[in-house]
């Protein structure tokens, strides 16, 4: 009997992808209403991890042996510009007297946005290979799928698993604590998110990535059932949230992805989508009709009228603080009314400078994904780039219908996906430079020779 030889285990060093996966797990799976106990500000555990990632990024940038990428990055520049606008606004508004509630909200909002940006920076420079980037994006799909399953349980049974998560030592709950709301005759699940709108948007933005890995596994003859299960759960989560933002995001993703897919894949996707709606209508009567009524009766919807009424009250605020705004997080919904439009909210709280910096974030992420797609000849990489572009575009469009920064999971995943686009572009640039650069050979020394000058022959002279 021969014994199977044993080999010593080799330990691999933790890299940016591993840290990013831990951050995404805490960001998505810990309910939004749970914060650290014993701290005056409502600090979520993911925010604390975000600061840790920022310290890792900063320290690794100072040395050359920790695998952190150096050099220029357009996406990193966009994050720096956005950070500069936030610092300028915070410094500007805190020079004058502010009510205590607004000052506390401004402090919390500033701390939150810094932690989100730090996570994005680590992904841009710390995820160095395509395989590691796949690990990060696959975990985004898996974490969002778990969130969708929790939401499905809330929708069909009314059982809220997140209530038991509040028993974790060291955490406390803030807000109303209600994860399930109602619209028409249906429950609106929130999963681990702060609101059904955020739940629907998060589920929707993960659908393109889940579809990409499902199609990739099918084409490579690999097991693909788990990825198709993710697609199904995420699509159902986006639909049962009864959110216009989620449905609008799915439509945007379809418009971006379908033209780039092969004709057979397009046909299968359309048939699958129609079949999904038919089955959903049969098993959940009235749900599809409720979804259609959200758009059919949009002009008579009280929630839409309430939003447009709130917009009128922001004109004076914008005129008084045109360039740097009145302070990020200081336009309190309980005092001034909600603003369900992040672009308008950025204009109010961060001014023209902050709103343009926020818009530039999306443009930089979209450009990075598109540029990486143009530089690659691998069909799988090109499809991944297009899927990432669709996710970022979904968030950019949906930000016009809800206040992104009011929801921590959605805003955190926004920086994660934009950071992934920046990392993907850097990888493609490095690959292109390796392929194009000519081989470098050591040059042989050139022998030094002394030659006498040739005699000068003058024309028209005789000896």
Is the predicted pLDDT of residue 50 greater than 80, yes or no? yes
User: What's the pLDDT band for 461 if we cut at 50, 70, 90?
Assistant: very low
Confidence of residue 460 (pLDDT cuts 50, 70, 90): very low
What's the pLDDT score for residue 165? 84
Whole-number pLDDT of residue 462: 38
Query: Which of the residue ranges 64-73, 404-413, 447-456 would you say has the lowest mean pLDDT?
Result: 447-456
DSSP letter for each residue of 139-202: HHHHHHHHHHHHHHHHHHH---THHHHTTSTTEEE-S----EEEETTEEEE-TTSSSHHHHHHH
How does residue 167 score in pLDDT terms, banded at 50, 70 and 90? confident
Backbone angles phi, psi at 98, to 5 degrees: -135, 145
- Predicted pLDDT of residue 457: 43
Domain boundaries, the chain: 16-434
Query: Per-residue pLDDT for 93 more than 90?
Result: yes
**Span of 125-139, 412-426, 433-447 with lowest mean pLDDT:** 433-447
Of the two residues 172 and 443, the one the predictor is more confident about is: 172
More confident residue, 177 or 174: 174
pLDDT the model gives residue 40: 85
Backbone angles phi, psi at 427, to 5 degrees: -60, -45
Of 156-170, 217-231, 378-392, the one with minimum mean pLDDT is: 156-170
Question: What is the pLDDT at residue 22?
Answer: 97
Reported as a single tens digit per residue, the pLDDT across 276-321 is: 999 998 988 888 888 888 777 776 666 666 566 666 778 889 999 9
**Structure confidence at residue 291 (pLDDT):** 84
Residue 390 in this model has a pLDDT that exceeds 90: yes
Per-residue confidence band for 110, with pLDDT thresholds at 50, 70 and 90: very high
Residue 8 has pLDDT above 80, yes or no: no
Percent of the chain predicted with pLDDT > 70: 87
List pLDDT tens digits, range 434-446. 875 555 545 545 5
Q: How confident is the model at residue 447 (pLDDT cuts 50, 70, 90)?
A: low
Average pLDDT of the chain to the nearest whole number: 88
What's the average model confidence in pLDDT over 414-432?
A: 96
Mean pLDDT of all residues in 388-415? 96
Report the distance separating Cα 132 and Cα 423, nearest Å: 10
**Secondary structure (DSSP) of 25-42:** HHHHHS-TTEEETT-SS-
What does the buried/exposed string (b/e) look like for 188-226 if buried means 16 or more CB atoms within 10 Å of the residue's CB?
A: bbbbbbbbbbbbbbbbbbbbbbbbbbbbbbeeeeeebee
pLDDT over 90 (residue 215): yes
Q: How far apart are CA 367 and CA 224, in angstroms?
A: 30
């Amino acid at each position: 009997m021969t014994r199977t030889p044993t080999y010593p285990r080799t330990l691999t060093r933790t890299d940016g992808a591993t840290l990013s996966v831990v951050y995404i797990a805490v960001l998505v799976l810990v309910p939004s209403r749970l914060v650290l106990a014993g701290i005056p500000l409502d600090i979520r555990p993911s925010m604390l991890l975000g600061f840790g990632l920022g310290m890792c990024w900063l320290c690794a940038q100072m040395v050359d042996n920790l695998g952190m990428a150096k050099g220029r990055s357009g996406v990193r520049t966009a994050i720096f510009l956005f950070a500069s606008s936030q610092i300028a606004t915070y410094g500007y508004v805190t020079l004058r007297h502010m009510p205590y509630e607004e000052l506390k909200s401004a402090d919390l909002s500033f701390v939150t946005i810094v932690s989100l940006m730090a996570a994005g920076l680590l992904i841009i420079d710390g995820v160095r290979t395509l395989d590691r980037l796949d690990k990060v994006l696959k975990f985004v799909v898996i974490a969002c799928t778990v969130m969708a399953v929790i939401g499905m349980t809330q929708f069909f049974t009314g059982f809220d698993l997140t209530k038991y998560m509040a028993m974790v030592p060291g955490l406390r709950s803030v807000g109303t604590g209600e994860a399930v709301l109602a619209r028409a005759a249906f429950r609106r699940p929130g999963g681990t998110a702060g609101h059904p709108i955020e739940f629907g948007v998060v589920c929707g933005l993960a659908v393109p990535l889940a579809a990409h890995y499902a199609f990739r596994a099918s084409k490579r003859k690999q097991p693909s059932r788990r990825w198709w299960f993710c697609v199904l759960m995420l699509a159902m989560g986006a639909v049962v949230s009864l959110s216009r933002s989620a449905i609008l995001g799915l439509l945007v993703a379809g418009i971006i992805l379908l033209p780039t897919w092969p004709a057979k894949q397009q046909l299968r996707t359309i048939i699958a989508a129609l079949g999904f709606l038919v089955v959903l209508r049969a098993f959940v009567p009235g749900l599809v009709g409720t979804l259609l009524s959200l758009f059919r009766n949009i002009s008579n919807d009280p929630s839409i009228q309430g939003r447009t009424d709130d917009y009128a009250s922001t004109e004076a605020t914008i005129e008084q603080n045109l360039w740097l705004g009145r302070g990020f997080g200081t336009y309190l919904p309980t005092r001034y009314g909600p603003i369900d439009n992040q672009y308008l909210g950025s204009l109010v709280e961060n001014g023209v400078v902050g709103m343009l910096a926020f818009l530039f974030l999306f443009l930089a992420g979209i450009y990075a994904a598109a540029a990486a797609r143009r530089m690659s000849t691998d069909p799988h990489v090109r499809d991944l780039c297009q899927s990432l572009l669709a996710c970022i575009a979904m968030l950019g469009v949906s930000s016009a219908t809800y206040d992104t920064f009011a929801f921590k999971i959605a805003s955190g995943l926004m920086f994660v996906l934009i950071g992934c686009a920046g990392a993907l572009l850097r990888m493609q640039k490095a690959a292109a430079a390796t392929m194009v650069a000519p081989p470098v050979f050591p040059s042989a020394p050139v022998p030094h020779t002394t030659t006498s000058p040739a005699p000068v022959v003058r024309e028209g002279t005789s000896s």
